[in-house]
Amino acid sequence: MTTQRSSRPPRARRLVVLGRGAAARSQGRVWLVGAGPGDPELLTLKALKALQMADVVVHDGLVSDEVLDLAPAAARRISVAKRKSRHSYAQDEINRMLVAFAREGLEVVRLKGGDPFVFGRGGEELEACREAGVECHVVPGVTAALAAGASAGAPLTHRGSAQAVTFVTGHAAVGEAPDLDWAALARANQTVVIYMGLSTAAAIGDRLMAAGRDGATPALIVENASRSDERRIVTTLSGLAGAAETLAGPALLMVGEAMALATAGSSPAGVQPLKVQGVSQ
């Protein structure tokens, strides 16, 4: 009788599977990876592993340098950040770029701030890969709202005062409010987290109050959540617009009774580097 498990692939075959991308496969793969909110310690282990095997990293402006530094020095880095003055890549150009690199046999890491599927257009890139027959994997990331709540000590749900949390986009023409179900968002005892809402904060506040949300509802704005330049402003719904004017972003607006627990400040109190006893840094 043999003790060897028959399900285990022979060693030679496993070596092929584990080989570096370009050398081992004719068709590469695309990894849609969430880089988290900025603090490299908030990266998942899976995101780190994907980065370490990358041949090419296609990244947004929101991805911090500390995270980008975790990719191999030899990996090509391509920024597709939105720029105000210079050419910025259209989404379909990015889609084509990912597919083309994968077809060259490369391991392509598409690195996005936060989570790729939370206001990250990851779905469009996944569809483009599927249509092209390119293997695509999604690695989730810590979305900005989770880091912002953690830093401020403000739970997004809280027994008795926040039975639901909703992530919405604040993106609309400057000064206008996005097309959302304001009546639903105006109900008490829930947290509304607004991404991309800095320039439309006044209109968003007005719509929520017009739909019946109390102007005294606690609110929090967190800029650069989890980064060394994080800033948190504790305010109320009626004070949201005034507070938003003082910031340049990236920032989240968070409205809800549970934001009463938030602490203001300019230091990332909740995201200090972890010091583990006995582990050298």
Residues designated as active site: 60, 82
Contact call for residue 31 and ligand SAH (CB under 6 A): no
- Of residues 27 and 266, the one with the C-beta less far from ligand SAH: 266
The set of residues, in sequence order, having a beta carbon less than 8 Å from that of 28 and lying 6+ positions away, is 21, 22, 55, 101, 102, 103, 104, 105, 106, 107, 108, 134
Stretch that binds ligand SAH, among 24-32, 45-53, 246-254, 273-281 (CB under 6 A): 246-254
Q: How far is the CB of 10 from ligand SAH (least distance, A)?
A: 42
Contact call for residue 39 and ligand SAH (CB under 6 A): no
- Of residues 99 and 150, the one with the C-beta less far from ligand SAH: 150
Contact call for residue 120 and ligand SAH (CB under 6 A): yes
Stretch that binds ligand SAH, among 40-48, 200-208, 218-226, 272-280 (CB under 6 A): 218-226
Contact call for residue 268 and ligand SAH (CB under 6 A): no
State the binding string over 161-190 for ligand SAH (x if CB under 6 A, else -): ------------------------------
Contact call for residue 62 and ligand SAH (CB under 6 A): yes
Measured from each CB, the residue nearest to ligand SAH is 114
* Residues near ligand SAH (CB under 6 A): 37-38, 62, 112-115, 118-120, 143-144, 148, 195-196, 222-227, 249-252
